[in-house]
A and B are shown apart, each in its own frame.
Chain A
């Protein structure tokens, strides 16, 4: 896999960050195609296991975007996520995953440009550190996939 092909999973909350991605899209602001967006209702829906699962399944970087503090549509969801995100930051290096491969940000629905900039920056970071190489699991994701069909 070349550096250009790095995969980034982006969890975006429905009400703000996903709206920001949409705004970027409608305004035709280009952002790297490496980012695959998953829409969730609120950043408070994300728990650390989902980030771990994304890395397990082959993500080279994981991004989580929520509303600005005070703007969460479920009141405190992003505060809760913020506390969990700090834990994720501590946890990843324990498994040999660089802290830089995980990023979270607060982006409103009108901030198309911030979304674009953030994605560019993050994709550049991931490209510069390269694809994630893990010694475990011993069975590759591909092998597992074919085994299941």
Chain B
């Protein structure tokens, strides 16, 4: 369908107030639960502090208010949570573009039922690792990370709020130049507006107190219309100027991501000798595979005895990551999870993302975005 743009705001005052922008996302969730169109909503709630995002299944619409707001220091992944644990219920979920990409690949592989899920997309400029966030707040803001009560990303700045209401901000560019800021995979990520979800919600182009929504699918369109008719949200049309501003910011972000791709995947890309050093560190804990949303096989080749050697401490990279790469690199959605969990700090997402980019250049297949399965799975004579 033709994309449709609108501004939305929760009618419920508490949701409107607590929501990151207009609380529209929360209001849509409340509507879906109240009308029993879904059995549960998968979102993120804030745990002990701003660095702690806990995936939460909300079944009672009264509790939605507790999930309001954006957590930028919580690089979670909802794709395999759904395919592994929530596949038997009708679900609505808030998704960053990488969540939506993983879900899309899992849908194509029949691991998630697309008819049983509402994907409410959130635009995403990137997430920061909790540990990085704490360190940089100490170093660049001169603040005890425990004192931070809220954080936000706005106009290229990472902003923190303290208990006494004061704000401190530092340019993300500056943080990243010094090796802090957003995760490396986020810096490289080109999908800023999740047009692979039903709706794409964000603050770009929005007026204060409103959420800007790009309606992507018919399902999303019906949802917004019915939520409005039933008194859950107010809706108005954004100005031409607002739409243009949003598009402009998106393009700037995409350009920046391409620059980071060149840096991380070409200019500063580790040479094979450096990779050998990385691979030598591997303790074969399988965390990278376990956390990867695309690696869903019940029986994994990496545990077959013809590819493993018990007396090898670091596994031979050819039959460890090489085999994993050969199975799924073309479908890598660059979510960064493998790299985040690796206890030996091996920059895994770089090699997977680079391979998917090459595959994309060769075949046109974009993991997490293309409607069809990767051409490698095709049975056709072509």
Contact = CB atoms under 8 A, between A and B. Distances in A.
B240 interface: no
A83 B316 contact: no
Interface in B368-382: 375-376, 378-382
Given A56-B319, A95-B272, A83 B326 contact: no
A95 B351 CA distance: 10
B115 interface: no
Contact of B355 (A52, A76, A83, A94): A94
Interface string A114-149: 000000000000000000001111110000100100
B272 A137 contact: no
Given A83-B375, A96-B272, A135-B273, A47 B359 contact: no
Contacts of A75: 381
A144 B380 contact: no
Secondary structure type dominating chain A contacts? helix
Interface in B298-312: 301, 306-307, 309, 311-312
A79 B312 contact: no
A40 interface: no
Interface in A65-113: 69-70, 75-76, 79-80, 83-84, 86-88, 90-91, 93-96
Interface in A48-63: 48-49, 52-53, 55-56
Contacts of A86: 362
Contacts of A88: 326
Contacts of B175: none
A80 B306 CA distance: 23
Interface stretch (B9-17, B103-111, B125-133, B275-283): B275-283
Given A52-B323, A87-B359, A91-B326, A139 B311 contact: yes
Interface string B262-296: 00000000001101100110000000000000000
A134 B319 CA distance: 14
A86 B326 CA distance: 11
A84 B359 CA distance: 11
A144 to B, nearest CB: 6
Contacts of A135: 273, 276
Nearest to B355: A90
B307 A53 contact: yes
Contact of B312 (A53, A87, A91, A137): A137
Nearest to B280: A136
Contacts of B347: none
A53 B126 CA distance: 38
Interface hub of A76, A84, A93, A136 (most chain B Cβ within 10 A): A136
Given A48-B326, A80-B379, A95-B272, A53 B319 contact: yes
Given A83-B375, A87-B326, 17 more contacts: A47-B326, A49-B301, A52-B318, A53-B319, A83-B376, A95-B275, A95-B317, A95-B322, A136-B279, A136-B314, A137-B309, A137-B312, A137-B314, A137-B315, A138-B280, A139-B309, A144-B311
Which 8 interchain pairs have the tightest Cβ spacing? A96-B272, A48-B326, A137-B316, A52-B318, A52-B322, A56-B318, A135-B276, A49-B323
8 contacts: A49-B326, A49-B327, A53-B319, A94-B354, A95-B275, A95-B322, A139-B311, A144-B309
Interface of A: 47-49, 52-53, 55-56, 69-70, 75-76, 79-80, 83-84, 86-88, 90-91, 93-96, 134-139, 144, 147
